Amino acid sequence: MLIADEVQCGLGRTGRPFYSPALGLQPDLMAIGKALGGGVPIGAALFSEKIASAAKPGDHGSTYGGNLLACRAALVFLHELIDRGLGDHVASVGSHLEAGLRQMATRLGGITDVRGAGLMWGIELDRPAASVVQAAFDRHLLINRTSDTVVRLLPPYVITEQEIDEALPLLEAAIATALEAPRT
């Protein structure tokens, strides 16, 4: 049985509703939340037919599964993602962001990998990333890190190419500053 947690990929954040098909995976169970409610707490589980046919009433429940407000928020988000083109927008601006990050990686020697899809990216450095987070913050750019050496970028779904073009030089300057500092 293959179980995928789409929360790690953020529903629609990669420019696809779910990223598992891009990896050649067909999960039997997917737990989704966070993005589904557009910030309103909700949880849902998607079952394959194989799993659904074996389930009986009461086998599954969710603390955030049936709230009227949360369900309405999920419907609005899904409408924006699928019917109103938000998913296509994420894919388009995500490609723009990827191009900028890959160009940056050719200019900065301390970047060892750029990986991701849509609006979910990781920049692997050859040294700790904490100083990049602080240097970006000093430039009014909010980023995070997911491990000791990975800078994580999760821009909002509605970011524009112009905003990406404004952010990339700030990010590059932050990374360059961190790369110039002596290694600790």
DSSP per residue, 114-161: EEEETTEEEEEESS-SHHHHHHHHHTT---EEEETTEEEE---TT--H
Per-residue confidence (pLDDT) for residue 7, from 0 to 100: 38
As a 3-state breakdown, the chain gives helix, strand, coil percent values, each rounded to 5, of: 45, 20, 35
What is the widest separation between alpha-carbon atoms in the chain? 60
Any idea what DSSP says for residue 83? I
Fold topology of 86-180: Aspartate Aminotransferase, domain 1 (3.90.1150)
pLDDT of the residue at 96: 98
Per-residue model confidence as pLDDT tens digits over 114-136:
999 999 999 999 999 999 999 99
181: amino acid identity, one letter:
A
Structure token pair of residue 120: 């979910």
Residue 25 tokens read as: 């995976």
Structure tokens, 97 = 């962001």
Share of the chain above pLDDT 70, in %: 91
The pTM score is 0.83
For the chain, what is the mean pLDDT? 88
pLDDT, tens digit (0-9, with 9 covering 90-100), for 69-103: 989 999 999 999 999 999 999 999 999 999 999 99
Strand partners, 4: 30
Query: In which band, very low, low, confident or very high, does the pLDDT at 65 lie, cut at 50, 70 and 90?
Result: low
Q: Where are the domains of the chain?
A: 3-83, 86-180
CA 155: distance to chain centroid?
Answer: 8
pLDDT at residue 159, rounded to an integer: 97
Of 84, 65, 71, 62, the residue nearest 37 (C-alpha): 71
Does 106 or 17 have the greater pLDDT score? Answer: 106
Decide the pairing of beta strands 3-5 and 43-47.
unpaired
CB neighbour class for 147 (10 Å; exposed up to 12, middle 13-18, buried from 19): exposed
SS3 (DSSP) at 51: helix
For 171-183, what is the mean pLDDT? 87
CA distance 149 to 72: 39
